[in-house]
Structure 1
Amino acid sequence: MDWGRAKNVLILAFLLLNVVLGYQLWSNIREGLSTSAEADDLSPETLRIMEEKGIRLADNIYIPAETPELQDLTYRLKTKLGDNERHVLKQPVEGKIIFNEKQLIEGLGAVIPDIDQYVYDGTTSDDKKFVFYRMEQLRPMFDVKLELYYEDQKIIAYRQDVIELVPSDKAIENPVLSATIAMAPLIEKFLAPGAVIKEIKLGYHGQTFAKSDTQVSAPSWRVLLEDGNVYYIHAVSGEVVTEEELVS
């Protein structure tokens, strides 16, 4: 037997095996990290309507590809402040702490309840306030906010919705509609010509009932437009609602 030749064949076989295994590993990692879809993944009919109405996605945004199974959240409002009701801080705090979770908790944790359960949202923040949303199951509750008001780079006041989650035996997990499917009726029936979609995010949203002790927040896609308009799409039924919902 030609051992030299056999050795070369074995080395080549192992190299090929490593290449195959490496490619499979890379593919699996890539698939696991892929959280976005392309605009071309929208249906041909939706793309046609977008072109006719001049609707487009803003630069550098993506359409989420996630379709997890989620359930409604039931909660009780402990504190719900009006738009003009704010708690003024006795001692202003440096505004830069919002970008560091540890510093944020150390700076305001003794003042603002449950602050560690709220996450900063740069898309809805502006030059007067930092906006945070209460997180549950790693997703924002769009109706439960914490707003930190600032002047001269210092946080001077806050406004917060405080809730208590209520366990529900009737809650059932359902697979959510993909963003590409959920957005089709929004684009066709609701968006005005020339609309520019700024962000698409999966979270929780529900109408607030003033006379009820408990509220329900359903899995929803939030669609922000560059003109400031906001739409919510029920992520299971596909129903589209605007932010201008009346409190019942």
Structure 2
Amino acid sequence: MDWSKTKTIFIVTFLLLNSFLVYQLIQKQNASELNVRAEMTLQQRFEDNNIRITENLPDEINEGRHIVGKRTPVPQEAIDAVDEEEILFPDEHAMGVVLDEPYSISNDNVNEDIGSFLESEVYNGEQYRFASWDQENQNLVFYQTYQGSTIYTDQEEQLVLFLNDEGDVTSYLQSFLEVEEHGRKRELLSPLKAIESLLNEQLLTFNSVVSQVELGYYSYFSPLGESQVFAPMYRIEIDEESFYLVNAIDGGIQELTDSAHQENEDTSEESRENEEE
């Protein structure tokens, strides 16, 4: 064996490998610098237009995909989780529970008490998030979540807590979505890029205030049978009066005009104020 040639081959191989690794490192550094410059440029655009963002933006999620939510029959585990309360079944997809005694909700600790109720009394209660307060009918509406993001369904409310005149929970109605991911993963817009898309379309103008940005799942289309496809979208509130959905995959924009969404924002604001107090 010619050790001299072998040693030369090893040296050349290592040099090529090192060169390739250095090239990759430079490429990553350049990409990172471009992202930083792009973000700085975007921040400068906001400053030039005196646009303010008044709350912390949601964490960036690099990739995501559509999801399919399918109404499912009431699982036996949910029935077994109920103690001795009366159980009603309006249909195979919903379960109503009448409490033996009202569950007390204190005016001073509304959020904490409701959270405790969901955790202790409702099957998978931690997977539901507050949506709106129906003052006329004395009930609280919640939507199911997927990986921490709310699934907004226009067809039905996923969980409703019914209150008495004292504001205590007397019963609840729960339905269930089975969620599956659909399609291939796609790169998602960052929260700042979603806001920029409103600026590009002149929906965000000089002196505007971005008062809320939330990533959730919405559907443009009516359900197909028991199933419905949802896309990841940013719900962005402007000047506490205009609401827009920005598709986190393709950047499409839709204005929210549904009064229920407006009410949801009003109640969320009241909820935040109660927490601060």
Give the conservation status (yes or no) of the 8 Å contact 1:131–1:148: yes
Q: 2:168 aligns with which of 148, 154, 168?
A: 154
CA shift for structure 1 position 102: 5.2
What are the within-5 Å matches in structure 2 for residues 122-201 of structure 1?
130-143=140-153, 145-150=158-163, 151-156=165-170, 158=172, 162-165=176-179, 167=180, 171-187=183-199, 188-191=201-204, 195-201=208-214
Give the conservation status (yes or no) of the 8 Å contact 2:208–2:238: yes
Give the conservation status (yes or no) of the 8 Å contact 1:40–1:47: no
CA shift for structure 1 position 182: 1.3
**In structure 1, distance between residues paired with 2:47 and 2:162:** 40
Paired position in structure 1 for 2:128: 118
TM-score by length of 2: 0.53
Matched, 1:64 2:76: no
Higher helix share: 2
* Deviations 1:82-132, CA, capped at 9 Å, x for gaps: xxxxx795653222586265543433x2xxx653421346xx668765453
**In structure 1, distance between residues paired with 2:60 and 2:198:** 19
Matched, 1:92 2:88: no
Identity %: 21
**In structure 2, distance between residues paired with 1:126 and 1:227:** 20
Count matched residues: 187
Structure 1 residues 98, 141: closer, same or farther in 2, change over 3 A? same
> What's the C-alpha RMSD, in Å, of the aligned pairs?
3.8
**In structure 2, distance between residues paired with 1:189 and 1:213:** 38
Alignment gaps of 5+ in structure 2: 1-38, 74-89, 91-95, 259-277
CA shift for structure 1 position 160: 5.2
Paired position in structure 2 for 1:235: 248
**In structure 2, distance between residues paired with 1:129 and 1:56:** 35
Alignment gaps of 5+ in structure 1: 1-38, 82-86
Paired position in structure 2 for 1:29: none
Amino acid at match of 1:76: K
Amino acid at match of 2:42: L
Structure 1 residues 89, 194: closer, same or farther in 2, change over 3 A? farther
Which structure's CA Rg is the greater one?
2
Amino acid at match of 1:179: P
Amino acid at match of 1:106: S
Structure 1 residues 66, 153: closer, same or farther in 2, change over 3 A? same
Structure 1 residues 229, 216: closer, same or farther in 2, change over 3 A? same
Paired position in structure 2 for 1:104: 118
Equivalent position SS for 1:204: strand
TM-score by length of 1: 0.58
